[in-house]
Amino acid sequence: MKHQLSFATVNVLSDGIAEIIITEGIEVSMEMLDEFDAFLSQHLSDHFALLINKVHSYNYTFEAKMTMASHENLIAIAVIVYKEADKKIINDVMALRAIDDWNLKTFSALELGWQQGYDWLQTELDLLVI
C-alpha cells in the first residue's frame, strides 16, 4: 500500500515493514520526522522495521540526525544504497548516534540489495516471536 507524505513516499510492504523513499533534494527536518513517526504509529504493528530505499540524494538537518530512527517500536533498519558515498554518510550518522546502538545494515542496490534487505528485516522481526 503506497502513501504520500509531504517529503517522501512510504510503501507498507507488510504488517511490520515499511519502505520509505525520500524525495530528491529534500532536507529532512524535525517536522518531517514527526509526520513520519505519526504515520508509522498509525499504519504498522507494535514492532516494525524500516527499509530505507536511498534512490535519491537528500540531507538531514542536524536536529533531525539527532532524533531520527528513535521510534520506540523500531526493531531494525535496512538501507538500500546505490552509491558508495551513501555508505559513508550512513556510517557518519551511525557514529554520531553510536550510543543508540541501531540494528542497521546496508545493502547494495546493484547486488539485489532490496530483496536481501527485505529478507533480513523479516528475519529480525521473526526473532521477536521466538
What dihedral do alpha carbons 47, 59, 97, 70 form, nearest 10°?
-30
The radius of gyration of the chain's CA atoms, rounded to the nearest angstrom, is 14
Q: What is the pLDDT of residues 82-116, one digit of tens each?
A: 998 888 889 888 888 888 888 999 999 988 899 99
pLDDT of residue 94: 87
Ordered by where they begin, the domains of the chain are: 2-129 (3.30.750)
Band of the pLDDT at 130, cuts 50, 70, 90?
low
Share of the chain above pLDDT 70, in %: 98
Cell numbers 504509529 correspond to what residue? 41
Q: What is the pLDDT of residues 38-77, one digit of tens each?
A: 999 999 878 999 999 999 999 999 999 999 998 889 999 9
